[in-house]
Amino acid sequence: MESKKQVAGKTFDGWMSEFPILTDIVSTKAVFWTNPHYKPFEHAVPSLSEADIADAEARLKRFAPYIAEAFPETKEVGGIIESPLVPIPQMQEELERQFGGAIPGRMLLKCDSHLPVSGSIKARGGIYEVLAHAEELAMQHGMLSVHNDYTVLHSDRFRQFFSNYSIVVGSTGNLGLSIGIISAKLGFSVTVHMSADAQQWKKDLLRSKGVSVVEHATDYSKAVEEGRKQAEADPTCYFIDDENSKRLFLGYAVAAFRLKGQLERLEIPVDQDHPLFVYLPCGVGGGPGGIAFSLKQIYKEHVHCFFSEPTHSPSMLLGLLTGLHDQVSVQDFGIDNKTSADGLAVGRPSRFVGKIIEPLLSGTFTVDDETLYTLLYTLSKKENIELEPSALAGMPGPYRLLHSNAGVSYLKEHGLIDKLGNSTHMVWATGGSMVPEPIMSEYMAKGSGSNG
């Protein structure tokens, strides 16, 4: 490491002495960081409110009859795109064995990997933003009102109308998949700018649905920039800005409202005596940020949210730690942003999200690729659930919280040690159900290899 190099006017050595954990972060060692800006909920004043989330939920309800028609696989659930919440006791036992430490409480998996339509967490934010845009356009042209039956959108008349408009997005893969599928279904002309990390099968699938895919040899931030440029040149073109979008954020945020009902149905309390720990894989931040934000609205100080990032792409961690947010990239600190967790291969975090979650997030930890593959294999063997590598990032969370010095300090500081037996650890599984079989076999082979 060149100690003379500067980031935001300060030398590496200067940064390291201010934040000693940086030494491990730049060496791509797995770290567990607790957030010094975390505040009791009543003192954290986010710029969005519960009413904003309720508005998003109401919009999704208006669209539900359309979704049920356009995507028959959602008919049974009335066109509401939601995922299962399942206990994973065998995995919990196996994690205790593999890591060599107890995990008291109950472990649950939130299977956004199995969300209908696009098989990842992006089926929340991505689809929501396209629907909000379509609704706005149709209303502006007097073709739709909130009192209509939205199944009218599933018609040649509307597809013809939307074909005059285009949608553009930059993505590492899954956001493009979500936006591409819903936009093409509505009739929009849609272009996805893919970063070099994007999986070939995701590009192929999109092209098969008539989506234009532009491939970039560079990383995610550059793909977004190219998308933004394309959209600026054309007034009928709508750019979905993964780094700054309030609509994406709110689409993700609806998750917690629905989760509340799921926990109640499982008779799992979340209160003073029953803490909830949630572990969310983080890329640019919108998905995990929106979900953490809404979980805090509902459960306040009884929910503790942790983000997880690849050891080679700790962008949100660097943004929060240094307070520089989008003014710093992992490359600035000599980290390569190369990871098999393609959904998380983001070198520069969202400032918009970083600012909102700064007082709400309990901490962030990092995970190496080999661990992701091992956990992918283990989860498949123990619970018969298959995920993509990114989606395993939250899985080591309970162990890391319970068995790291920083984690134990957090638990003590918040009076949680005596409550661990009554706690719930929720791991957010963010993608995987659409991975083609041959690719899943490759993942499994990698995971079993390192499993011995």
The footprint of ligand PLP (CB under 6 A) covers: 120-122, 174, 281-288, 343-344, 388, 390-391, 430-431
The nearer residue to ligand PLP, 397 or 431, going by C-beta atoms, is 431
User: Residue 317's closest CA among 369, 278, 280?
Assistant: 280
3-state secondary structure of 304: strand
Residue 374 has a CB neighbour count (10 Å cut-off) of 22
CA distances 350 to 12, 99, 318, 320, Å, are 23, 33, 11, 10
248 touches 129 (CB < 8 A): yes
**Least distance to ligand PLP, CB of residue 161, Å:** 30
**Least distance to ligand PLP, CB of residue 286, Å:** 4
The nearer residue to ligand PLP, 375 or 411, going by C-beta atoms, is 375
The nearer residue to ligand PLP, 283 or 347, going by C-beta atoms, is 283
**Least distance to ligand PLP, CB of residue 249, Å:** 9
Residue 163 has a CB neighbour count (10 Å cut-off) of 12
The nearer residue to ligand PLP, 187 or 288, going by C-beta atoms, is 288
Q: Residue 364: in which H helix or E strand, if any?
A: strand 363-367
The nearer residue to ligand PLP, 34 or 430, going by C-beta atoms, is 430
User: Residue 365's closest CA among 7, 13, 30?
Assistant: 30
**Least distance to ligand PLP, CB of residue 283, Å:** 3
**Least distance to ligand PLP, CB of residue 348, Å:** 11
373 touches 446 (CB < 8 A): yes
**Least distance to ligand PLP, CB of residue 23, Å:** 25
User: Residue 393's closest CA among 286, 302, 278?
Assistant: 278
Tokens of 108: 């649950």
What is the Cα–Cα distance from 272 to 195, expressed in whole angstroms? Answer: 44
**Least distance to ligand PLP, CB of residue 16, Å:** 26
The nearer residue to ligand PLP, 7 or 280, going by C-beta atoms, is 280
The nearer residue to ligand PLP, 303 or 391, going by C-beta atoms, is 391
User: Residue 356's closest CA among 2, 45, 65, 133?
Assistant: 45
What is the Cα–Cα distance from 119 to 113, expressed in whole angstroms? Answer: 5
341 DSSP 8-state letter = -
Strand partners, 193: 170, 214
**Least distance to ligand PLP, CB of residue 223, Å:** 13
The nearer residue to ligand PLP, 35 or 174, going by C-beta atoms, is 174
**Least distance to ligand PLP, CB of residue 173, Å:** 7
The nearer residue to ligand PLP, 291 or 411, going by C-beta atoms, is 291
* Residue number with the smallest Cβ distance to ligand PLP: 283
Alpha-helix residue ranges (DSSP H) falling in 266-303 = 286-299
3-state secondary structure of 434: coil
